[in-house]
Amino acid sequence: MEQTDIVIVGAGVVGLAVAAELSSKFTDKSIVLVERHNKFGQETSSRNSEVVHAGIYYPSNSLKAKLCVDGNKRLYQFCKKWGIPHNRLGKLIIARSEEEIPILESILKKGLDSGVTDLELLDADQVIKLEPNVKAVAAILSPSTGIIDSHSLMSRLEWLARQQDTMCAYNHEVTTVEYAGNGNGYTLTYRGPDGQIDKILCKWLINCSGLGADKIPYWLGMDIDKASYRIYPCKGEYFGVSNTKSGMVSRLIYPPPLKELKGLGIHATKTLDGRLRFGPSAFYIDTLDYSVDEGHAIEFYNSINTYLPFINFADLRPDMSGIRPKIQRPGAPVQDFVVRHEAASGFEGLINLIGIESPGLTASLSLARMVGDLVGNDRHHN
């Protein structure tokens, strides 16, 4: 049976960032990154808004807030260092009526509590000066929100990991995991590229498997409901508009977020090539499917029309969708990221990253740093 020190499951942006971090920090350890698709980033990491968030919305002591604020800075530094295409174009969170102004005030406070110090509250005139085509009575300006080319980011992370001797095993799907107990490691069974079943033994198992992240704890016999690790997939669809209308806003425009932060509300995002897109919506699903239902255009139109009156119903075209790996049950309060060394539950060397929904792309480098610390701080197991 093959053996290695560390196996990372999942080559999305988080698994890749973890691979780059661990391979630079622990040069004496052998690392294998296992991914079921034939290349990196085929799931949530390439189906999102590509926004570098500032960290405004989340409870201030949460990992989401801390890792987003820290991740925002790290990501811009990384972009600068490696020439990753990005645009720090800024964002407005708008109030569409006087009644929404208190929501902005509470968001502003949350942001400040989390260390986002560059936010500005704007009145209607100031909004019009920045964005003449947006209908709003007030807004929060977040100058450090931007957009990034997530493919280039992942490609650079993969390159860094490979340079530092990480082995990337694509077309390898983990089908079950067993624990030998007493810190004696994990045996992963996987299906390889030709359908062959094989096994690999590792001391550290880092679970970055996104929508599949509840499987590893389940295979190991953990009670995933008790631990709140069960994934409830929550879909988000996008609609686009023609290029002629794309130039009518130059920043990201967000209405106030949805109740219990199920999503950030159907907002206007820009792509690096200047296209205007709307979304993502948020609804729970039973089966994973990335189609976009044209029939949902009316829901988009009704929402967008409240702040971008220049968009007509006929302008909207189905674009793409992504699926959030939520651990927040339908109707339940918002949940934080899980980033946990499971030694206390009897699984030494298992680090679970579960519920890594938004702002996981922004937080990716900070999540990786945290995993590096969890591995480095474990004296008994290294």
Ligand X SMILES: Cc1cc2nc3c(=O)[nH]c(=O)nc-3n(C[C@H](O)[C@H](O)[C@H](O)COP(=O)(O)OP(=O)(O)OC[C@H]3O[C@@H](n4cnc5c(N)ncnc54)[C@H](O)[C@@H]3O)c2cc1C
End-to-end CA distance of the chain: 21
| Residue with smaller CB distance to ligand X, 246 or 352 | 352
Residue 324 touching ligand X (CB under 6 A): yes
Total residues in contact with ligand X, by rule CB under 6 A: 40
Report the amino acid identity of residue 348: E
Which of the stretches 110-118, 133-141, 209-217, 341-349 binds ligand X when contact is defined by CB under 6 A? 209-217
Residue 370 touching ligand X (CB under 6 A): no
Give the Cα separation of 43 and 63 in Å (integer): 23
Minimum distance of ligand X from residue 188's CB (angstroms): 9
| Residue with smaller CB distance to ligand X, 139 or 361 | 361
| Residue with smaller CB distance to ligand X, 36 or 230 | 36
Residue 209 touching ligand X (CB under 6 A): yes
Count of other CB atoms within 10 angstroms of residue 168: 20
- Tokens, residue 130: 């920045």
Q: Site residues for ligand X, window 267-306 (CB under 6 A)?
A: 280
Q: Site residues for ligand X, window 17-56 (CB under 6 A)?
A: 34-37, 42-45, 48-51, 53
Number of H-type helices and E-type strands within the chain: 9, 20
Minimum distance of ligand X from residue 74's CB (angstroms): 12
Q: With CA atoms as reference, report the closest residue to 37 among 46, 28, 29, 27.
A: 46
| Residue with smaller CB distance to ligand X, 180 or 285 | 285
**Three-state DSSP class for 290?**
coil
Which listed residue (8, 84, 157, 174) binds ligand X by CB under 6 A?
174
| Residue with smaller CB distance to ligand X, 203 or 262 | 262
Minimum distance of ligand X from residue 247's CB (angstroms): 21
Residue 79 touching ligand X (CB under 6 A): no
Pair 67, 367: CB distance under 8 Å: yes
Pair 190, 34: CB distance under 8 Å: yes
Minimum distance of ligand X from residue 124's CB (angstroms): 27
Q: Site residues for ligand X, window 89-128 (CB under 6 A)?
A: none
Residue 352 touching ligand X (CB under 6 A): no
Pair 173, 195: CB distance under 8 Å: no
- Tokens, residue 148: 């990034």
Give the containing element (helix H, strand E) for 31: strand 31-34
| Residue with smaller CB distance to ligand X, 138 or 204 | 204
Which of the stretches 120-128, 158-166, 286-294, 353-361 binds ligand X when contact is defined by CB under 6 A? 353-361
Give the Cα separation of 214 and 208 in Å (integer): 10
Residue 145 touching ligand X (CB under 6 A): no
Give the Cα separation of 73 and 31 in Å (integer): 27
- Tokens, residue 173: 């799907």
Please give the angle made by the CA atoms of 242, 246 and 250, to the nearest 5 degrees: 170
| Residue with smaller CB distance to ligand X, 136 or 174 | 174
| Residue with smaller CB distance to ligand X, 127 or 205 | 205
**What backbone phi and psi angles, to 5 degrees, belong to 70?**
-70, -40
Minimum distance of ligand X from residue 130's CB (angstroms): 21
| Residue with smaller CB distance to ligand X, 9 or 241 | 9
Which listed residue (323, 354, 365, 370) binds ligand X by CB under 6 A?
323
| Residue with smaller CB distance to ligand X, 256 or 322 | 322
If phi > 0 it is left, if psi is from -120 to 50 it is alpha, else beta; for residue 83 that is left
User: Chain-centre distance of CA 243, in angstroms?
Assistant: 27
Block residue for tokens 């002591």: 61
Whether the link from the prior residue into 280 is cis, omega within 30° of 0, is yes
Residues 216-255: x where in contact with ligand X by CB under 6 A, - otherwise, as a string = --------------------x-------------------
Which of the stretches 85-93, 155-163, 316-324, 342-350 binds ligand X when contact is defined by CB under 6 A? 316-324
| Residue 120: DSSP 8-state | E
| Residue ranges binding ligand X (CB under 6 A) | 9-15, 34-37, 42-45, 48-51, 53, 173-174, 208-212, 215, 236, 280, 322-324, 356-362
